[in-house]
Amino acid sequence: MAETTKFLLSEDAIPTHWVNLLPDLPGDPLPPLNPQTMAPAGPPDLTPIFPMELIGQEVSGEPDIEIPDAVREVYRLWRPTPLFRARRLEEALQTPAHIYYKYEGVSPAGSHKPNTAVPQAYANAQAGVKKLTTETGAGQWGSALAFACSLFGLECEVFMVGSSYDQKPYRRSMMQTWGATVHRSPSSLTASGRANEGSRTGSLGIAISEAVEVAAQEPESNYALGSVLNHVLLHQTIIGQETIAQMEMAGEEPDVVIGCVGGGSNFGGLTFPWMRRKMRSGHGPRFVAAEPAACPTLTQGVFAYDFGDTAGLTPLMPMYTLGHGFVPPPVHAGGLRYHGDAPMVCALLKAGMLEARAYRQNETFEAALRFARSEGIIPAPEPAHAIRAAIEEAEAAKQAGEARVILFGLCGHGNFDLAAYDAYLAGTLEDPEFSQSDMDAAIAALPEGAPSLA
């Protein structure tokens, strides 16, 4: 009865540094490449769209990077976030497992995304930039950047993936409430958009191209990315650090840590601090990455140098990819509809340090509903993938008769995803297939001349 449900930290416990896993990554470092020269991409490749502060973080060899005071001050609006023991879900599953979840949905934008939007907006404001452009899938990232820009007096221009724009009109309103301008992508405003006008649903890859194009053209504008890059994952490591302190409060060590993966920032943010501890101590939890079966980058992709966007405007990155021309089917987990994944996450998968699993849309919503009806919180479709994996782990623990400790990341609430729940409840939610032939075509069109990683 009186057992603790929530593990809360005081504001003093907001981490003072981000955890940079880059120097601890296994194997030889694989730099991003300039697609014209195939030489390692350096700061000059990035200065047209990023401020030096963030470029420095992108390539830093320092294991810990200090968080600016002004950023920690904003974090205090919602951080530290709670860690919950899912006692009611455990009971519903009749499992001996102990299930914990770290809840990032308490941020103003409703997800983990403000953790990086705030330091990115701050670094750009400090550098004298006037406007940030970006893409957004489900709208979580665009909302977060709109919120962060409103705090530091920056303009914000968002290209929103067409299928999400149509499914989630209120995400658009939310961005506008914080003062941002929002376009449906593909738009007619950019060459990248016009080149893809045939795509009804759009994709993160296309929207990234549009936002990068605008930022590169306008001298006072920069671009902000919500995932994939090293500095973005770096900023998210406050999640994992807080979680380590909270699991100590709970007096338990996780046997497995689970996160959903789209571009990798939620997964990296939750797992990297645990990962470093494990690398250094030689023991620690297993790590499970959960992704959509309709966009199975980690489980079906090839490890290769590829562009981060559809139009080929970014440096080439070493990652698992379905091919930058692959347009994933319109699953509701818009934040997971990305052809690639963060190079750091991919390097860890390549090194065998994490397991990846893919789930169908309907089975993730089944898990989400089970969670909502026991724990109360309605999850976003993205973390529903992690819930599905957590339930599988809890059922395995029950089979084994072991009180295993499971920790997963609940990276956002589903308040803007209720049309998808509607469809699931009505039995009309689609379960789009992954198209192997689309992927084969996209892989055939990988950039030529890059070193093979096979």
Compute the least distance from the CB of residue 311 to a second copy, in Å. 31
Nearer to a second copy, 6 or 200 (CB): 6
> Should residue 363 be labelled a site residue for a second copy when binding is judged by CB under 8 A?
no
Per CB under 8 A, the list member of 378, 384, 387, 405 interacting with a second copy is 378
Amino acid in position 391? I
Task: Return the exposure string of 44-58: e unless at least 16 CB atoms fall within 10 Å of the residue's CB, then b.
Answer: ebbeebbbebbbebb
Compute the least distance from the CB of residue 176 to a second copy, in Å. 6
**Interface stretch with a second copy, choices 44-52, 102-110, 221-229, 304-312 (CB under 8 A):** 102-110
Closest by CA position to 241, among listed 20, 61, 58: 20
Answer yes or no: are the C-beta atoms of 247 and 241 closer than 8 Å. Answer: no
> Contacts with a second copy in 156-185 (CB under 8 A)?
169-170, 173-174, 176-179
Number of CB atoms found within 10 A of residue 413's CB = 20
Per CB under 8 A, the list member of 52, 400, 418, 441 interacting with a second copy is 418
Amino acid in position 419? A
Nearer to a second copy, 86 or 316 (CB): 86
* Measured CA angle at 171 (ends 167, 176), to 5 deg: 135
Compute the least distance from the CB of residue 421 to a second copy, in Å. 5
> Should residue 383 be labelled a site residue for a second copy when binding is judged by CB under 8 A?
no
> Should residue 10 be labelled a site residue for a second copy when binding is judged by CB under 8 A?
yes
Answer yes or no: are the C-beta atoms of 224 and 147 closer than 8 Å. Answer: no
| Spatial separation of the C-alpha atoms in residues 119 and 260, rounded to whole Å | 23
In the chain, the N- to C-terminal Cα span, in Å, equals 54
Site string for a second copy, 124-163 (x = CB under 8 A): -----------------------x--xx------------
Compute how many residues bind a second copy; rule: CB under 8 A.
43
Nearer to a second copy, 130 or 277 (CB): 130
Locate 172 and state its tokens. 């658009």
> Should residue 248 be labelled a site residue for a second copy when binding is judged by CB under 8 A?
no
Compute the least distance from the CB of residue 7 to a second copy, in Å. 9
Question: What does residue 229 show for φ and ψ, rounded to 5 degrees?
Answer: -75, 155
Per CB under 8 A, the list member of 26, 47, 52, 77 interacting with a second copy is 77
Compute the least distance from the CB of residue 110 to a second copy, in Å. 7
Compute the least distance from the CB of residue 401 to a second copy, in Å. 27
> Should residue 16 be labelled a site residue for a second copy when binding is judged by CB under 8 A?
no
Per CB under 8 A, the list member of 282, 376, 401, 427 interacting with a second copy is 376
Is the backbone peptide bond immediately before 329 cis, with ω within 30 degrees of 0? Answer: no
- List residues bridging with 406 in a β-sheet: 99, 256
> Should residue 422 be labelled a site residue for a second copy when binding is judged by CB under 8 A?
yes
**Interface stretch with a second copy, choices 68-76, 93-101, 293-301, 314-322 (CB under 8 A):** 68-76
> Should residue 106 be labelled a site residue for a second copy when binding is judged by CB under 8 A?
yes
Per CB under 8 A, the list member of 23, 43, 47, 76 interacting with a second copy is 76
Nearer to a second copy, 114 or 273 (CB): 114
Compute the least distance from the CB of residue 112 to a second copy, in Å. 15
> Should residue 362 be labelled a site residue for a second copy when binding is judged by CB under 8 A?
no
Compute the least distance from the CB of residue 17 to a second copy, in Å. 16
Point out which residues bind a second copy (CB under 8 A).
Answer: 1, 4-6, 8, 10-11, 69, 73, 76-78, 84, 88, 106-108, 110, 147, 150-151, 169-170, 173-174, 176-179, 369, 372-373, 375-378, 415-416, 418-419, 421-422, 425
